[in-house]
A and B are shown apart, each in its own frame.
Chain A
Amino acid sequence: MSETKVSRSVPKPSKPWQPSAAERAQSLSVGVLAALASVGLVALTPMKGFLPTVIFFGIFAVLIGFAKGTFTRGSTTGKNNAIGILLGLGTCVALIPIASILETTISRGYKGLHRGLFTKDMSMNTAIDPITEGGLLHALLGSLIMVSIALVIAMPLGILTAIYLTEIKGRFSRPVRFLVQAMSGVPSIVAGLFIMSAIIYPITKSFNGLMGALALSILMIPTIARTAEEVLLLIPNDLREAGVALGGTQWRTVAMVVVPAARSGLITAMILGIARVIGETAPILLVTGGGDAINVNPVEGPMGSLPFYIWKSFFFGTEEATTRGWAGLLVLLVFVLILFTLARTLSRRKVRR
């Protein structure tokens, strides 16, 4: 006897817990009502401007959300609604400055961009001259040179610290970890003062790019050490065991197995270190000063840098000079953005592997 199977149709998957269109419209109406109420209130009272509208929008949104929840389901739902709206508003408050900063930098710095910006320096003119004269090449080169020298010092020290913490795990591990954290909290101006007191006054008596690089390296080491440590911890222990089981000494295992495996993560650490110091102004103002001409010799004479260029431009006070300052800030911002995106793409690619 043949069994005929009754084919039952499989229903479509659904998510009945998602808010329906009606519920979404209801939530939207809370926002609309709050907006109308706040605009109306501001129109009726002597308050004016954007700010009170926004503040009252927030207050009304919270109150209306609370009322809606309480009337439909009870005070627990009302409170839940109110808090949810409040937290969302708080997040907006955190985001508004970012938007404002980005908008300001772009709109004000854009006017200062011109073809000569990256090919000329300021040795032939001053900041109050028209924008198309002079550029920030000296500042760019100076920043690049100083950051590179700082990297040369900070990368080895940072990576060695990370290796100490993850591979050797000696008895100083806990104090060292604490100290790295403490070092990341050292104010940048103190780093500058340190270089002044330890190197410039007793030894060299000169202010130049190298001094700035040394100060920057102090600020860089903790960032690199922390990121490198995180990256090394992610390397699975199997790799280390495989290296040691093959008869490798510890240093060979670390140098030939662990570090290459962590390569992209260490590059991320380097990028984050660069991003950390590229905008540091205070130590440079203290120990490097800044010139107007291109100077690629770190041990002689003042060296320009992006932060110094920006700083100096703003203090002239005229419109052209201010625009130069914003242009410099825009260039700096773009650099930071590029570095940041690079670091994120690298770390994401590593995770997927």
Chain B
Amino acid sequence: MSFSDSVSASMKSGRDFQNRQEKLEKDATMNESDQAKSPKPSSLASVAKSHVSRGNSARRLGTGLEAKGIHAWFGSNHVLADISLDFASGSVTALIGPSGCGKSTFIRTLNRMHEFIPTAAMAGEVLLDGKDIYAPGTDVTKIRLKVGMVFQKPNPFPSMTIGENVLSGLRLAQLKVENKDDLVEECLTRAGLWSEVKDRLGEYGGALSGGQQQRLCIARSLAVSPHVLLMDEPCSALDPGSTLKIEDTIAELSETMTIIIVTHNMQQAARVSDYTAFFLSDGGPGEMVEYGKTSEIFSNPRDTRTENYVTGRFG
């Protein structure tokens, strides 16, 4: 799919998103009257079960990502052991687990950010569209265009305006696009920020609130049309209102790309993801204990450790 094709695909999905938002609001007012009669506390399992999985979409980019036998070291410290996961195109996968078990290290091996730490070493393969991204001779900047990343702490570029921030990915990679303004509007709409900033695209990125900055970072990653979007605890520094908006964005984005999200918040994992992987480290390297459909993991986990974690006995 050429770059301009993917741009127009994302433009169409943005409009669909707005339509769907309106429909959801209408549905919500209808359900409220039902719920007022018998409010029930919702468990993780019920939240996970009510998560709507989208069907196959022809607009999907790429064929997903596969990690095979990933190990990671920092110096002689073995931090990740034998992680193998297959991320299907268009799915949302949540990585959950207690702090320090290697979830962030793992997703950084997926877009080759792990290697920035001087003592880092790894083993295994990561296949993007069937090709190992660590193969010798690979252009790592092209990989990062296809596998985007949103960080825990929002980091828009303060020396650029909001509009320039959105387009920064294109400028950094020297990519050409026909209509810059349309792309800016598009990415900001998909990130759920357009209505709040459309009059002040010329202002500098630092003037926004935390939640707005994070949505700006999401819009920035979208501008280069990645096939996969990695999100490293994107909402942990934000208020619940912004968190909800971003979760809606994730749902819409999964129509066109694969999303992998690391989260400490199990409710969030239950809300947004189709699949969940549970990571654990018992003093040694982090391992992936269990992987499956989110509804299964939260209602009927196979491993006792998973069950202990999701029922809150530890972590």
Q: Are A10 and B115 in contact (CB under 8 A)?
A: no
Decide yes or no whether B69 CB sits under 8 A from chain A. Answer: yes
Q: Are B174 and A14 in contact (CB under 8 A)?
A: no
In chain B between 107 and 137, which residues have their CB closer than 8 angstroms to a CB of chain A? 112, 115, 120-124, 134-137
Q: Which of A50-58, A73-81, A133-141, A193-201 contacts B (4 or more CB under 8 A)?
A: A73-81
Q: Are B174 and A76 in contact (CB under 8 A)?
A: yes
Known A-B contacts A11-B124, A12-B123; the reply to A17 vs B140 at CB < 8 A is yes
In chain B between 59 and 99, which residues have their CB closer than 8 angstroms to a CB of chain A? 69, 71, 73, 78, 81-82
Decide yes or no whether A238 CB sits under 8 A from chain B. Answer: no
Interface string of A12-43 (1 = CB under 8 A from B): 11111100101100000000000000000000
Q: Are A76 and B141 in contact (CB under 8 A)?
A: yes
Which residue of the partner chain A has the closest CB to B81? A10
Which residue of the partner chain A has the closest CB to B135? A16
Q: Are A13 and B122 in contact (CB under 8 A)?
A: yes
Interface string of B262-280 (1 = CB under 8 A from A): 0000000000000000000
Which residue of the partner chain B has the closest CB to A12? B123
Quote the shortest CB–CB distance from B141 to chain A (angstroms).
7
Q: How far is the CA of A23 from the CA of B136 in the complex (A)?
A: 9
Q: Are B115 and A13 in contact (CB under 8 A)?
A: no
Known A-B contacts A13-B123, A16-B122; the reply to A73 vs B115 at CB < 8 A is no
Which residues of chain A are within 8 angstroms of B134 by Cβ–Cβ distance? 16-17
Decide yes or no whether A8 CB sits under 8 A from chain B. Answer: yes
Known A-B contacts A15-B120, A15-B121; the reply to A10 vs B173 at CB < 8 A is no
Q: Are A13 and B73 in contact (CB under 8 A)?
A: yes
Contact of B82 among A8, A22, A75, A76 (CB under 8 A): A8
Decide yes or no whether B178 CB sits under 8 A from chain A. Answer: no
Interface string of A306-344 (1 = CB under 8 A from B): 000000000000000000000000000000000000000
Decide yes or no whether B139 CB sits under 8 A from chain A. Answer: yes
Contact of B121 among A8, A13, A22, A23 (CB under 8 A): A13
A residues sitting closer than 8 Å to B (CB atoms) are: 8, 10-17, 20, 22-23, 73, 75-77
Which residue of the partner chain B has the closest CB to A20? B136
Q: How far is the CA of A244 from the CA of B73 in the complex (A)?
A: 46
Contact of A15 among B71, B115, B140, B173 (CB under 8 A): B115
Q: Are B136 and A10 in contact (CB under 8 A)?
A: no
Q: Are B136 and A14 in contact (CB under 8 A)?
A: no
What range describes how many residues of B lie at the interface?
20 to 34
Q: How far is the CA of A73 from the CA of B138 in the complex (A)?
A: 10
Which of B120, B121, B173: most chain A CB closer than 10 A?
B121
Quote the shortest CB–CB distance from A15 to chain B (angstroms).
5
Which residue of the partner chain A has the closest CB to B116? A17
Given contacts A11-B69, A20-B136, A76-B173, 6 further A-B contacts (CB under 8 A): A13-B122, A16-B134, A16-B136, A17-B112, A77-B139, A77-B141
Q: What are 13 A-B pairs at a CB distance below 8 A?
A: A10-B71, A10-B78, A11-B69, A13-B71, A14-B122, A15-B115, A17-B134, A22-B136, A23-B136, A23-B137, A73-B139, A75-B174, A76-B174
Which residue of the partner chain A has the closest CB to B174? A76
Which residues of chain A are within 8 angstroms of B115 by Cβ–Cβ distance? 15, 17
Q: Are B121 and A14 in contact (CB under 8 A)?
A: yes
10 nearest A-B residue pairs (beta carbon): A13-B121, A11-B123, A16-B134, A17-B115, A13-B73, A76-B174, A73-B139, A15-B121, A20-B136, A14-B123
Which residues of chain B are within 8 angstroms of A8 by Cβ–Cβ distance? 82
Which residue of the partner chain B has the closest CB to A73? B139
Which of A11, A16, A20, A75: most chain B CB closer than 10 A?
A16
Q: How far is the CA of A12 from the CA of B174 in the complex (A)?
A: 37
Quote the shortest CB–CB distance from A234 to chain B (angstroms).
25
Which residues of chain B are within 8 angstroms of A76 by Cβ–Cβ distance? 141, 173-174
Q: How far is the CA of A8 from the CA of B69 in the complex (A)?
A: 11
Q: How far is the CA of A75 from the CA of B175 in the complex (A)?
A: 11
Q: How far is the CA of A13 from the CA of B139 in the complex (A)?
A: 21
Q: How far is the CA of A11 from the CA of B68 in the complex (A)?
A: 12
Which residues of chain B are within 8 angstroms of A10 by Cβ–Cβ distance? 71, 78, 81
Which of A11, A14, A17: most chain B CB closer than 10 A?
A17
Which residues of chain A are within 8 angstroms of B78 by Cβ–Cβ distance? 10
Q: How far is the CA of A341 from the CA of B31 in the complex (A)?
A: 76
Interface string of B136-163 (1 = CB under 8 A from A): 1101110000000000000000000000
Quote the shortest CB–CB distance from A104 to chain B (angstroms).
37
Q: How far is the CA of A316 from the CA of B78 in the complex (A)?
A: 69
Which residues of chain A are within 8 angstroms of B122 by Cβ–Cβ distance? 13-16
Q: How far is the CA of A16 from the CA of B122 in the complex (A)?
A: 8
Q: How far is the CA of A15 from the CA of B115 in the complex (A)?
A: 8
Q: Are A11 and B71 in contact (CB under 8 A)?
A: yes
Quote the shortest CB–CB distance from A311 to chain B (angstroms).
48
Q: How far is the CA of A131 from the CA of B116 in the complex (A)?
A: 58
Which residues of chain B are within 8 angstroms of A23 by Cβ–Cβ distance? 136-137
Quote the shortest CB–CB distance from B102 to chain A (angstroms).
14
Q: How far is the CA of A17 from the CA of B137 in the complex (A)?
A: 9
Which residue of the partner chain A has the closest CB to B139? A73
Q: How far is the CA of A15 from the CA of B121 in the complex (A)?
A: 5
Which residues of chain B are within 8 angstroms of A13 by Cβ–Cβ distance? 71, 73, 121-123
